[in-house]
Structure 1
Amino acid sequence: MTTVRQLMTSPVHCVRESDSVLEAARLMAAQGVGAVPVCGEDGRIKGMLTDRDIVVRVLAEGKDPRALHASEVVQGETVTIGPDADAEEAVRAMSEHAVRRLPVVDGGALAGIVAQADVARALSNPASGDLVEAISRER
């Protein structure tokens, strides 16, 4: 059985709720990623901020990314998974919630990120194809 711990990227850099959206975008650019976790001052994950969130909820609406906090842009429930869950459980969570990235939380603390690509590499081709299809469906 392949576990999430074996698939996840770690360590993960997060932005604080009080960091500006511009700071978050700069971190994404520096790390070469399309999403960053938003963490509270207590270090616990509060949400995920994506490059798409920045474009659609900030830039397209004419808002100033220097003036908005990261916490003002993240929306909805944050779906997480534990590091000892198996890859199939990650697939179910990603498919059910239509997310491409799952923050990995261990004892309440952010331990890593498992991405759609990480899971797809670990699964058989039919299973990974099903995952991509489920996540990519319009909702």
Structure 2
Amino acid sequence: MERDDEGLTEDRIFTLLSMGRRRELLRAVDRLGGEATVGDVTNEIVTGEHGTDAGARARKTVYVSLHQTHLPRLVESGALVHDVHEKTVHLTERGDVLLAYLRFDPTAERAGLLSRVLRPGGRNRAK
């Protein structure tokens, strides 16, 4: 699949992050050190969705949806690189951008600068 070089517009970012399983795919690769096998990512997602005693059917459902839908979308956007022969995926700089959106929490007590500035009612302006 060809990589999209148009960039990550705000609409594109929110479209990519609109699916829960796609968000979990990014988080799983990140938790696994930024590069992982598709099998390990699948296991992470299955465990999160169905618990540790999930059956083969649940695993297959997740695996198929990753291959048919979510991996191609994230690869096309340039957020992940998928090595089909090695059966691995790894995050790119665009993937890090998407993860930054997932980490943003305007309600966090000790948030980063962006979260402090954008927190509802949280701007401390000098008068």
Q: Under a length normalisation based on structure 1, what TM-score does the superposition of the two structures give?
A: 0.29
- Structure ID, larger Rg: 2
